[in-house]
């Protein structure tokens, strides 16, 4: 069994044991399926792997734990989405994902919406993920614009004292793998 790690444009050269399996001008990066449960360290190692690969080029991370029988099965599984992957890769190229969460009382919801709207303008794309927080946002930000984005988060925090805001990243584009 092998695990699917990421979809790439075929130019990335991963280190063993990760293999790039080509399909129609793109590639699916595969690794031997991991044994045992996913604990924090395992997930951080996957994250480090994806970050190192991202230095080489655009990729779409595959959900953790996606296991198929073999490389032929991997190609079969990804081939039908080939064009959508190509569009998504073009969309994320040169950008990273930043997370912004904001917690606060119920009446802070409008403020959270304003925070999201303000940050969305600074990003190539933005989406609100679900969760208990007033805001759990994911933002696709040009690499060169990350510092400005973080500075904007700082300004928004000072402006909206009723919210407690946390920004983390950069992350691979987990939330932007669907072609728009």
Partner 1 sequence: MSEGAVAQREVALVDLVDRLLGGGVVIAGEITLAVADVDLVHVSLRALVSSVDTAQRQGALPRMGEAL
Partner 2 sequence: MSREKVLAAPLDGDLGPFERPGRRLPGALGGRIDADPESVERGLAQLVLTIVELLRQLMERQALRRIDGGGLTEEQIERLGTTFMELDRRMEELRDQFGLEAEDLNLDLGPLGRLL
Residues that bind partner 2 (CB under 8 A): 37-41, 43-44, 48, 51, 54, 96, 98, 101, 103, 133, 146, 150, 153-154, 157-158, 161, 164-171
**Which does residue 68 bind out of partner 2, partner 1, none, counting CB within 5 to 8 angstroms by kind?**
partner 1
Q: Report the residue number, 65 or 110, with the smaller CB distance to partner 1.
A: 65
13 vs 166, beta carbon nearer partner 1: 166
Please, what is the minimum distance in Å from the beta carbon of residue 99 to partner 2?
9
Contact by Cβ (8 Å): 96, 172: yes
| Residue 2 binding target from partner 1, partner 2, none, CB below 5 to 8 Å by type | none
Contact status, residue 63 vs residue 175, Cβ threshold 8 Å? no
The CB-of-88 to partner 1 minimum distance in angstroms stands at 8
Q: Which is nearer to partner 1, 75 or 113 (CB)?
A: 75
Distance CA 171, CA 47 (A): 8
Task: Give the span between the Cα atoms of 104 and 137, in whole angstroms.
Answer: 15
Tell me the three state secondary structure of residue 56: coil
Return the bridge partners of 29, or none. Answer: 6, 20
> For the stretch 55-84, what's the b/e string if a residue is b when 16 or more beta carbons lie within 10 angstroms of its beta carbon?
eeebbbbbeeeeebeeeeebbebbeebeee
Burial of 108-119, coded b for 16+ CB within 10 Å and e otherwise, reads beebbeebbeeb
Contacting residues toward partner 1, per CB under 8 A: 4, 6-7, 38, 40, 43-44, 46-47, 60-69, 73, 76-78, 85, 97, 99, 101, 129, 131, 136, 138, 166, 168, 171-172, 174-175, 177
21 touches, from partner 2, partner 1, none (C-beta below 5 to 8 Å by class): none
What DSSP state is assigned to residue 9? -
Report, in Å, the least distance between residue 109 CB and partner 1. 20
């Amino acid at each position: 069994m092998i695990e699917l790690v990421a979809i790439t444009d075929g130019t990335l050269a991963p280190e063993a044991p990760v293999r790039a399996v080509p399909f129609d001008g793109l590639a699916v990066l595969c690794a031997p399926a991991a044994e045992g449960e996913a604990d924090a360290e395992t997930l951080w190692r996957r994250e480090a792997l994806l970050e190192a690969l991202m230095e080489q080029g655009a990729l779409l991370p595959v959900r953790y734990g996606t296991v198929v029988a073999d490389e032929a099965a991997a190609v079969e599984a990804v081939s039908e989405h080939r064009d959508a992957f190509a569009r998504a890769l073009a969309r994320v190229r040169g950008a990273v994902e930043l997370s912004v969460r904001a917690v606060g009382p119920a009446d802070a919801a409008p403020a959270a919406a304003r925070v999201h709207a303000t940050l969305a303008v600074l990003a190539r794309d933005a989406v609100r993920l679900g969760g208990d927080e007033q805001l759990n946002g994911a933002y696709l930000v040009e690499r060169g614009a990350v510092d400005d984005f973080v500075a904007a988060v700082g300004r928004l925090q000072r402006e909206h004292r009723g919210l407690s805001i946390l920004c983390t990243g950069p992350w691979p584009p987990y939330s932007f793998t669907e072609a728009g």
